[in-house]
Amino acid sequence: MKKNVSLILFIIGVLIIGVPQFRILLNELQTATQLQSYTEVVEVYPEQDLNIYMETLEQINSNPQTESSQAVSEVPIYNDPFIVEVAPVEYEVTKKLFPDGVIGSIYIPKIGEQLPIYNGATNEHLALGAATVAGTSLPVGGEGTHSVISAHRGYARANYFRHIDLLVPGDKILITILKKTLTYEVTGNQVVEADDPSSLGFEKEQDLLTLLTCHPYMINDKRLLVHAKRVPTTAVAPTFASVVTQREVIAEEGQEIVSDEPTSVSEQPTVQEQKRESLTPINRVKSFVAVTFKFNSETILAPVKRNLLLNRGIVLLSMIAIFIAFCLLIRNLFHLRGK
């Protein structure tokens, strides 16, 4: 009987250690599946409709209502997304096009993170990935724009922006919206107060991106900003399991051909209405393998690789330990019944 109690306590202890790490891995797998589905839906979506959607997003950035806030070096009207939950003014427009809120993805090769970008840094969206910050530009590029994308750093079940403090000038950040891929190059980082938006201003003829997260890690009373500027695009973000053919991206502009016969966006089906069963069982397996072993990537920094290896190691050892403990527990129970 004492052996069984010890085994049960052992299993509980392993679960306490292993479950948080398993949740991180599970979140990565769910994110990969979501991004893969989004990519495959976009790949088969009518080009004319995609062009209309992209034009709509670009028009939001150039809306006369926001032009006054995009003057040279003018600081945007800003609410810290980790303190105040504010949906951007254009949220209803983008929600009509993308009902689940995902407008694209962000890929940071050096830290191995590829996350969905949600429009509006609500608590719900920040729990699921990265999100745009109200008062800043949508991440579709263009002169005089400054997009700010936020994500958690000390989130219990995911890494998200945990390692963006390791990014240095020259590192790349890829933003993909529909079929348009934009590349930004890190120019530096800084730590500011949570209510200080002075570094988020717009600059004439500049296409800027800033990553925003909490700092220091697990304390979170300040904000870490990683600044980047637009550079020519020479590659696209990878698709998990490589089940989608990668497209060629125009180096400088990354723009798709615009239809000569534009129609109203309101008359078009949404991206989500085009959903289909895009992930077959074999592709799910490939995606699982790609995510689980992503620490093999040559682009990922050593500290991030160690963190990933530790996570995978704890998950694997926990599963083995629990399996063995359950086998012993079952054997002991049968042994007691035999008596």
Question: 235 φ, ψ to 5°?
Answer: -150, 170
Query: How buried is 165 (Cβ within 10 angstroms: 0-12 exposed, 13-18 middle, 19+ buried)?
Result: middle
Whether 316 contacts 19, CB under 8 Å: no
Contact at 8 Å (CB) between 228 and 187? yes
Task: Specify whether 152 is catalytic.
Answer: yes
Instruction: Tokens for 219, please give them.
Output: 């304390």
Beta-carbon contacts of 301 under 8 Å, excluding residues fewer than 6 positions away, are 110, 111, 163, 166
Q: Is 214 a catalytic residue?
A: yes
Active-site entry in 152, 163, 215, 227: 152
Which of the residues 163, 214, 215, 227 is marked catalytic?
214
Distance CA 336, CA 270 (A): 61
Question: Do 186 and 166 contact (CB within 8 A), yes or no?
Answer: no
Active-site residue set: 152, 214
